[in-house]
Chains A and B, each alone.
Chain A
Amino acid sequence: MSIKTYTSVDKYADVPYEGKERLFLEVKNDPRYKDYLFGCYECGICVAVCPSARFYDFSPRKITQGLAREDINLFYEHLNDSVWDCSQCFSCLKCPRGNNPGGLITIMREVSVRNGLTSAKQALEGYTRIIYKIMSTGTQVSPDMIRPEAFPDWGPTAEETADNLELWRRAMPPETMHTTSASWEVSEKTLTELYLIWHLTGVMDMIKTLNESLYMILVDVMEEKLEESGYKA
């Protein structure tokens, strides 16, 4: 009787193994990795609580198992095909081993963006205007983003809000919230400090790899303010 040895199916066989391994090691060498992975005994609690697992072919258990076993091919497959389905709710912190599958996925996503993987660029294709908003204005979303063409599924409120935006924004008492292009008034000095953080921590390099046009626009906005304030990034 022969015993079949289990091996993972290599969906990305055309990608050099060394390249996949380098990416795996970049994940493993992240300082947070050892805080997030203690070994998985496949109980499946993370899958049971996971909202993404109900709608996508997605399994925090498999991703964590793949990392714990250091299955390079499986890791690479998850890096490309799975990590962007995660809803980052951290329900998976229910893990009885104290693993953090959501946190491991966060690290994998960072590595994916930093290395300019096509799958990351595709996942974030429709999202770049949000990146521009947070990086340049200091607030993640803004009132003027509620447009019926952007949120047709939100019903008639989207159109009503867009039609009355400037007036409705003045019709609320908090003085910092009479804004339309940012969620609240962020001071110039604060914004400049935020730009300094993006430059000093390597985030601008990540943006450049992800989307060169977005990078150029952001650099234009930021460098002038940084120079005016006498900061050297």
Chain B
Amino acid sequence: MIPQEALKKTKREFRPDPANAPTEDMHEKVLELEAKGEWIVHRVPEPYIELDTKYGRKKKLPLQHTWHHKSCGQCGHIPGYSTSIFWLHRQLGMEYNDPTDQTSCTAWNYYASATSNAAAQAAVAMRNFAAAYESGYFPQIHCATSYGHYKEVREEMVHHPELRARVREIMAKMGKPLVMPEEIVHYSEWVYAVRHEIAKRQVLDLSSIIVTVHPACHYYKLVQEDAIYDPDVYGGQRTAVVTAVAQALGAKVADYSTWFDCCGFGFRHILVQRDFSRSFAVQRKIEVMRDEANPDVTLTHDTGCVTTLDKSQFAPNAHVDPEKRKAAIPVLSEAQFAALAMGAHPYRVCQLHWHAADYRPLLEKMGIDWKEAWREFEDDLEQLRKDPKASLTWEDADKGRQVHASHGGH
């Protein structure tokens, strides 16, 4: 393994210059096509802020009036991830829409099995974008694969008029316009944008927490443009999301030599061929993090990455002498971590009982009484058992917690 310090020894400076960017400006192409009557561009609503992307171009980040494009794996298997994203919006008073008029992006299946094609994938994307447009809310995408795939679809739709025509025809059959959002926005960009607002509402001291960050391949490698880069974070050499949030919350971000490696999710592999996924996740990510950084938690910003890194740590214990078994590294999204920092309930909001790698030592180190929190949650469960139609509400989620007052989303 290349020593970390050797990786950092360089006198080269990278100054992004949009005038010399190696990629075309998708914003210009999208607006040109609108001017030609090819589609409607769904404009980013105010309030928004402008962020820097990889080559120095600006990206408009809407702060509220967002339509939440949910993630299958998050909502299905790690529901605390989605719940935390909504909770953060509510705590910050940022209005949002959680729609039922939303399908999966279907990209997980597409990358897993190719039982689809470019037209179907584009039509699914554009149907979701049209649904957002019709609702009056701007899409904010929860999954990094959805985000990367939609950037891929945007490139294909811009460059292939025959694909545009085909998808327009399909949308017309549903009575939907052909709509392209002005920006394709990932939720982690929103968390990055509001990180200082989150820090203002922080109730826990995280200065003793060591964090490693795992960035999602589909966020910053798949269509590299648009990902957020910040000269104050890694000198603008690596994407800034997640890391900047951990830093804003006062945690120590530790580096490790396989930062750029994939987690090993594999799309089909994680479901039906997991020997690859867990071998890669453990040997190239978890063990390296542990040996080089010894973190209390690893944070990431994608469904597949949380799933792979969290679920892959159990089976390798079979290879290790129980006496020598090292503690697991808990895996959270930065949204869950930020929510905990603000006083969110670890079970009602962050839903940590769905996670496999032991998170309890982390909670203890963060000063969270997880035993009391679990007792409270078990009381909730007891109430829910008595009434099969009842469910936990947002008001229930903050009962007895030291958090700022909630505002509505819907």
Which residues does A use to contact B, with CB under 8 Å? 30-32, 35, 49, 51-52, 54-56, 84, 87-91, 93-94, 106, 109-110, 112-114, 123-124, 126-127, 130-131, 134, 138-143, 145-146, 151, 153-155, 157, 160-161, 167-178, 182-187, 189-191, 193-194, 196-198, 200-203, 206-207, 210, 231
Of residues B106, B113, B276, B314, which shows the largest number of chain A Cβ atoms within 10 Å of its Cβ? B113
Contact A139 B353 (CB under 8 A): no
Asked if A153 contacts B123 (CB within 8 A), the reply is no
Find A87's partner among B77, B86, B276, B392 (CB 8 Å cutoff). B276
The answer to whether the Cβ of B247 comes within 8 Å of any Cβ in the partner chain is: no
Report the 7 A-B pairs with minimum CB-CB distance, sorted nearest first. Answer: A155-B314, A109-B114, A183-B76, A140-B72, A88-B111, A87-B266, A153-B315
In whole Å, how far is B173's beta carbon from the nearest beta carbon of chain A?
Answer: 6
Q: With a CB–CB cut-off of 8 A, which chain B residues contact A193?
A: 103, 127, 174, 176
Contacts of A88 in B (CB 8 A): 111-112, 266-267
Known pairs A140-B72, A197-B127 / 4 extra A-B pairs, C-beta < 8 Å: A139-B104, A151-B311, A155-B315, A183-B75
**Complex interface: stretch among B42-50, B154-162, B226-234, B319-327:** B154-162
Given A138-B104, A153-B274, A154-B311, are A210 and B221 neighbors across the interface (CB < 8 Å)? no
Once bound together, how far apart are the Cα atoms of A140 and B215, in whole Å? 22
Q: CA separation between A154 and B131, bound complex, in Å?
A: 36
Within the complex, the shortest CB–CB distance from A92 to chain B, in Å, comes to: 9
Nearest-CB residue, chain A, relative to B266: A87
Nearest to A191 among chain B residues (CB) is B103
User: Is A190 within 8 A of B108, CB to CB?
Assistant: no
Q: How many residues of B contact A (CB 8 A)?
A: 95
Contact at A171–B377, with CB atoms within 8 Å? yes
Q: A142 contacts B76, CB within 8 Å?
A: yes
A193 CB to closest chain B CB (Å) equals 5
Cβ–Cβ contact B115 & A113, under 8 A? yes
The number of inter-chain residue pairs (CB within 8 angstroms) is 263
Contact A197 B124, CB 8 Å, known A106-B114, A110-B117 = yes
Query: B120 contacts which of A87, A113, A175, A197 (Cβ < 8 Å)?
Result: A197
Q: Give the residue name and chain of the B residue nearest to A137 (CB).
A: B104
- Chain B nearest CB from A57 CB (Å) reads 13
- Which among B75, B114, B384 is the interface contact of A177 at CB below 8 angstroms? B75
A38 to chain B, nearest CB (A): 13
27 A-B residue pairings within 8 Å (CB atoms): A54-B284, A55-B276, A56-B276, A89-B218, A89-B221, A124-B268, A131-B115, A139-B104, A140-B72, A141-B72, A145-B77, A146-B77, A157-B355, A157-B356, A168-B353, A171-B381, A171-B391, A172-B79, A173-B87, A176-B70, A176-B100, A183-B75, A183-B104, A186-B102, A190-B100, A190-B131, A193-B174
A174 CB to nearest chain B CB (Å): 6
Residue B294 is within 8 A (CB to CB) of chain A in the complex = no
Q: B residues 348-383 with Cβ under 8 Å of A? A: 348-349, 351, 353-356, 377, 380-381
Q: Is the CB of A206 within 8 A of B174?
A: no
Q: For residue A155, which residues in chain B have a CB less than 8 angstroms away from its CB?
A: 311, 314-315, 356
- Interfacial chain A residues near B73, Cβ < 8 Å: 140-141, 183
Measured between beta carbons, the chain A residues less than 8 angstroms from B40 are none
**Distance, CA A145 to CA B148, complexed state (A):** 25
The distance from the CB of A136 to the nearest CB of chain B, in whole angstroms, is 12
